[in-house]
Structure 1
Amino acid sequence: MKIIAGLGNPGSEYAATKHNVGFMLVDALADKLGIDNWQDKFDAKVAQGFLGTEKILLVKPLTYMNESGRAIGPLMNFYKLEPEDLIVVHDDMDIPAGMVRIRKKGSAGGHNGIKSVLAHLGDEHFARVRIGIGRPLPGWTVVNHVLAPFTDEDKPKIREAIDYLLPAVECIVKDDVDMAMNKYNPKKQKKKKAVEAVAETQEGGTENAAE
């Protein structure tokens, strides 16, 4: 069994804010898989279903972001799961809006929700699916930024990121996080494009020299 936990804040006033992209992805995955058996359990909204033959538990903590681990930790204990059975989806200010990164483990990187999960699990070996929300505007505090809705410019980028990550999360569950990182992390595509760009430049230079 795998737990797929999206981080965010409960309540309609937070639903469309940047801090709630974890909730957004979990909701999108539930819609795609036809999972609608939500119930309250261990300070979280939880719903069970299957991805292929793998049983999954979708989780949206109701503890508010900074106490996310207070919901996830007891759920992990109740189902007797290891950290490697957990996938956490969350926002990341260090990535431009709409960009994505999948990680196998690591520190909290300043994210209070991940800090809480780490504190309750006592182990960093769980997958993170990170959705970029960009840095605060000049004069904005971090709190202002993460609790504000996305701009009209960024909304389609976030929708595309979530659509892009749905099969990535499925890949983590059905295969493993390493395969998902190799397949869905965009850095390798960038390197490939950079190599292609250099090759095109070199070809252009050769043609120009010939002319």
Structure 2
Amino acid sequence: MHLIVGLGNPGAQYAKNRHNIGFMMVDALIASGSFGPEKKAFDGFVSEGLIDTPKGKEKVLALKPQTYMNNSGLSVAKALQFYKLKPEQITVFHDELDLAPGRLRMKMGGGHAGHNGLRSIMAHIGPNFMRGRMGIGHPGAKELVLTWVLADFAKSDQTWVESLDDACVRALPMLFSGAPDAADRYQAEVMRLAPAPKFDARQLAAQKPQ
């Protein structure tokens, strides 16, 4: 069994924020047709499903913590303890400032790089879980970060956001294949299915908070 966690903040006012791209990915996963309806559990919304892998069908639990980003670890820890999972069986999808918009990088373990959702999860279960780092770009200055992540994606971003979410879902059988380089193969397949957009300087400047 695997636990897929999407990070974000609950509530309609945050639904389209850059910070909620992890929620968006899990929503796309649940809508893919192989998952049941969402239910309230573990201080979050969860849905169970099956993913076809080279090893056969793999049971997957999709979780969106409803504790707000800063306390995401409370929800993740409850799910982990209930299902007796190891941190290595968890993949967390989250926004990543240090990647260009539309890029995906998979990483096992490491630090939190100032991401409060990761910080909270690490405080509860340690650092040894897989991260799906979904690039949202950086506003260019530290004092602009909070406004940037809590702002909605621009309308022009919707195409690549939806494509990235869809690719992350479609490639999941590769992530759970059991191969030693499964994460690298998954990353490459997602980027093949949804190449990151190219932005010129004027497009990027227009999106940055003033």
Taking the aligned partners of 2:77 and 2:108, their CA distance within structure 1 comes to 18
Taking the aligned partners of 1:139 and 1:73, their CA distance within structure 2 comes to 30
Code of the residue aligned with 1:166 in structure 2: it is V
Contact 1:3–1:86 (8 Å) recurs in 2:
yes
Is residue 2:87 matched to residue 1:96? no
Taking the aligned partners of 1:40 and 1:34, their CA distance within structure 2 comes to 19
Taking the aligned partners of 1:93 and 1:168, their CA distance within structure 2 comes to 23
Taking the aligned partners of 2:77 and 2:90, their CA distance within structure 1 comes to 10
Taking the aligned partners of 1:12 and 1:19, their CA distance within structure 2 comes to 13
Larger radius of gyration: 1
Taking the aligned partners of 1:179 and 1:38, their CA distance within structure 2 comes to 28
For 2:80, the equivalent position in structure 1 comes to 76
Is residue 2:123 matched to residue 1:119? yes
Judged with a 3 Å threshold, the aligned counterparts in structure 2 of structure 1 residues 101 and 20 are, in CA distance, closer, same or farther, namely same
Q: TM-score, normalised by structure 1?
A: 0.81
CA displacement 1:145-203 (0-9 Å, x = unmatched):
111111233222222222222233332223357323135248x99xxxxxxxxxxxxxx
CA displacement 1:89-134 (0-9 Å, x = unmatched):
0000000111111112211121110011110002x22111111011
Code of the residue aligned with 2:113 in structure 1: it is G
Taking the aligned partners of 2:42 and 2:121, their CA distance within structure 1 comes to 14
Taking the aligned partners of 2:84 and 2:162, their CA distance within structure 1 comes to 34
Code of the residue aligned with 2:139 in structure 1: it is P
Unmatched segments (≥5 aa) in structure 1: 190-211
Q: TM-score, normalised by structure 2?
A: 0.82
Match of 2:90 among 86, 89, 92: 86
For 2:168, the equivalent position in structure 1 comes to 165
For 1:154, the equivalent position in structure 2 comes to 157
Judged with a 3 Å threshold, the aligned counterparts in structure 2 of structure 1 residues 164 and 177 are, in CA distance, closer, same or farther, namely farther
Code of the residue aligned with 1:20 in structure 2: it is N
Is residue 2:141 matched to residue 1:134? no
Taking the aligned partners of 1:97 and 1:137, their CA distance within structure 2 comes to 13
Q: Report sequence identity in percent.
A: 39
Judged with a 3 Å threshold, the aligned counterparts in structure 2 of structure 1 residues 67 and 183 are, in CA distance, closer, same or farther, namely closer
Q: CA deviation at 1:58?
A: 0.5
Code of the residue aligned with 2:48 in structure 1: it is Q
Q: CA deviation at 1:55?
A: 0.8
Contact 1:104–1:177 (8 Å) recurs in 2:
no
The CA RMSD over aligned residues, in Å, is 2.1
Unmatched segments (≥5 aa) in structure 2: 193-210
Corresponding residue SS for 2:176: helix
Q: CA deviation at 1:143?
A: 1.4
In the TM superposition, 1:6-85 aligns within 5 A as 6-52=6-52, 53-85=57-89
Code of the residue aligned with 1:44 in structure 2: it is G
Is residue 2:203 matched to residue 1:179? no
Taking the aligned partners of 1:90 and 1:170, their CA distance within structure 2 comes to 20
Taking the aligned partners of 1:33 and 1:79, their CA distance within structure 2 comes to 23
